[in-house]
Chains A and B, each alone.
Chain A
């Protein structure tokens, strides 16, 4: 549960030796602080909560949510208590958490540190303080002892009068909200995608948008998910680019899937031109035409190629007919090579088997 939001504006001091300057680059940039109630029990839960908030701000387009750049930061407060005790123990704050995994690990470390102090009868060693997560040592260390609540001295800011939001305004905001992560996941689930697909696709708003646009054009849902999660994701990972940086458009991915489905090109060819589309762009139709990649489904044409390969390989034919039927693969490969990869594999195999097994 979220207990309160705090908004503030930021500025900071920069020191160059004896020279002090005020950096106002972030002045006027609003900062939203979201404080949650102590409802979280483990490090992984906290990291998941934080990453859902990151997804949320990215879905809403209010922040890039990058932790490394400080666009999203997370401080955690941890307290432990003996089983059965109602009130929380003394809380300790941890700062310097630069990734969700450090959030998770720092919390788990701090829990075990505090539990250990409890079990050693040193509860008084747990003091209200701010600790720092040390990524190298994988532990928390004291940064500063808290000055105590007395030093905060919050009171209502008289220069900012209360803002009255009309119901219409709130409704208009609500109506203008995009689909939020949870809704998107539910929708993907209903489409019949696996949990793994759902989590992957909905994790990144850009990928989700890509996927949504692809299927909006009529592409098969499962095939689109497979292409994105498979070859496209692999490419992005290798080249360290995001989905908005690749040249492939959702429309062309849809076209590619359709072309394979209707047999215009083979899956193998599809994969080949996919990388071309990602790296250089262009259209599926254009590439097929340019490279003459239309699958050969003409029986007579394939027969001709099969005949040629059989005629060119008398030795292998003899061995095959002598019982070494494994050589079928060799023949199939040769024919495929002859067709420059364009022969319909099913048709090719059917004709090849007929020819090989034919009594001559």
Chain B
């Protein structure tokens, strides 16, 4: 049994093929070996084995097993866990232990999942490399000199290096999809409102969504099914029914020759133009051909407002963050400095506790919302957002799904864009529009580009109509099952997993 086929894990347990504690021990061992190089975790739980033993006891006693029984999950550090620190990668929340589990975490635990630890991230989700963490720099398992992407870089790297089976991330402007692409794993950004944000440290509330990482589409789909649904603690969470995404997956052996016959796929023209790495474009064109072979009709579509999405996104996200992050005043949460009077207590707690990228975005947002600038920036950006939403609607009227690269390039070197924020922001061009429109998108590895140090994975992004994750997962699953000659296990752990 392939180690990461989570969909079959429960079966394996029930048949007695494997023990939860053995799987957990293997994961932990791999984690211990790879972690010094990758540094994807900010915190690793010390009772994983105990929890795995509990699963085995349930199996032995024939007790009911949840759909995620024994599944080891990494949780991004901006998602609250009551028994582990939750710092969101920031010094201002150092040692903060929430008194509750995020709804998504609680739901996973109910399904039998074991949280293995908290993964590294750019502070408060603000960054695309995970270099913005206040604690450590995470390396890409494919090439330790490169970034894993961000902001959910820890969650992506952990799944890529098989330190855990699946993980939770959050996606405000691409923070699940871009690192999935960089690390060669599946990343699923659900429709806005599909998953409760209760317990997710707020960055930009109108864009934030909790997403899933897995080493297969099926894993990501099963994880989404476990965490999705309405939550009375999040007024923006949707009351729509959550379908059982995995139930319609068809095993490869049962696929006919044109399993996606009639599916209309739109390749977004603006995402394969200048400024995008040629090899990435080739990979996406290759993926498009593959979809055609599966029976899809692929046509190029234009989203005229595409390039406007990036500046609009940075204005809206910064504006909302300037409000959301005002709660870190040294009083309500985390770190507090000693000060003579209240204003310096606030000021100094924030000055020392927040990193430079965060401060820059708070300043930008504060500026954009100020009277006199509001109309020129915030209001304008909201108008662009409406345009973006409408152009997606038009394109999705004509097509079942839209495809694009997940990022303009493969993973770049650590430090390469650290002092060039604009270039880093530009890397989000492929993903931010989807957040502005609130749509679901699935990223899955589709090929490789060459680099001086070996092959680096490239991800394709599939964008669907709101609340139609089911369709994306179905297409993604077939795509993944039929993609020949590609193994997306990084060399670092490939040998170990082969045996």
Q: Name A residues whose Cβ lies closer than 8 Å to a Cβ of B.
A: 13, 20, 22, 148-155, 158-161
Contact = CB atoms under 8 A, between A and B. Distances in A.
Given A148-B371, A149-B371, A155-B320, 13 more contacts: A13-B331, A20-B331, A22-B332, A151-B370, A153-B322, A153-B366, A153-B369, A153-B371, A155-B319, A155-B369, A158-B204, A159-B236, A161-B236
Contacts of B322: 153
Nearest to A11: B332
B307 interface: no
A158 B320 contact: yes
Interface of A is mostly: loop
Interface string B372-390: 1010001000000000000
Contacts of B202: 159
B337 to A, nearest CB: 13
A148 to B, nearest CB: 8
Interface string B205-228: 110000000000000000000000
B319 to A, nearest CB: 6
* Chain B CB within 10 A, most for which of A22, A152, A161: A161
A159 B203 CA distance: 11
Contacts of B342: 13
B370 A153 contact: yes
B271 to A, nearest CB: 27
B18 interface: no
Contacts of B319: 155
A155 B206 contact: no
A155 B235 contact: no
B236 A150 contact: no
Nearest to A18: B338
B235 A22 contact: no
B162 to A, nearest CB: 36
B370 A159 contact: no
A149 B332 CA distance: 26
Contacts of B323: 153, 155
A101 B372 CA distance: 38
Interface residues of B, number: 20
Contacts of B378: 155
A152 to B, nearest CB: 7
A154 B373 CA distance: 12
* Chain B CB within 10 A, most for which of A13, A22, A153, A154: A153
A159 B235 contact: yes
* Chain B CB within 10 A, most for which of A22, A148, A150: A150
B151 to A, nearest CB: 19
B205 A150 contact: no
B328 to A, nearest CB: 15
Contacts of A149: 371-372
18 contacts: A13-B342, A20-B331, A22-B331, A150-B371, A150-B372, A153-B323, A153-B366, A153-B369, A153-B370, A153-B374, A154-B369, A155-B319, A155-B369, A155-B378, A158-B204, A158-B205, A159-B235, A159-B236
Contacts of B332: 22
Nearest to B319: A155
A155 B202 CA distance: 16
Contact of A161 (B204, B235, B320, B369): B235
A159 B369 contact: no
Contact of A152 (B204, B320, B371): B371
Sort A-B residue pairs by CB-CB distance and give the 9 closest, nearest first: A158-B206, A153-B369, A149-B371, A158-B205, A150-B370, A159-B205, A150-B371, A161-B236, A155-B369
* Chain B CB within 10 A, most for which of A149, A154, A158, A160: A158
A22 B327 CA distance: 14
A80 to B, nearest CB: 24
A270 B272 CA distance: 97
Nearest to B379: A155
A307 B428 CA distance: 114
Interface in B251-270: none
A22 B366 CA distance: 26
A155 B205 contact: no
Contacts of B370: 150-151, 153
Nearest to A152: B371
Contacts of B205: 158-159
A290 B366 CA distance: 78
A149 B319 CA distance: 17
Nearest to A151: B370
A158 B369 CA distance: 14
A159 B231 CA distance: 13
A150 to B, nearest CB: 4
A21 B235 CA distance: 29
A28 to B, nearest CB: 14
Nearest to B322: A153
Contacts of A151: 370
A300 to B, nearest CB: 81
Contacts of B372: 149-150
A158 B372 CA distance: 21
Interface string B296-336: 00000000000000000000000110110000000110000
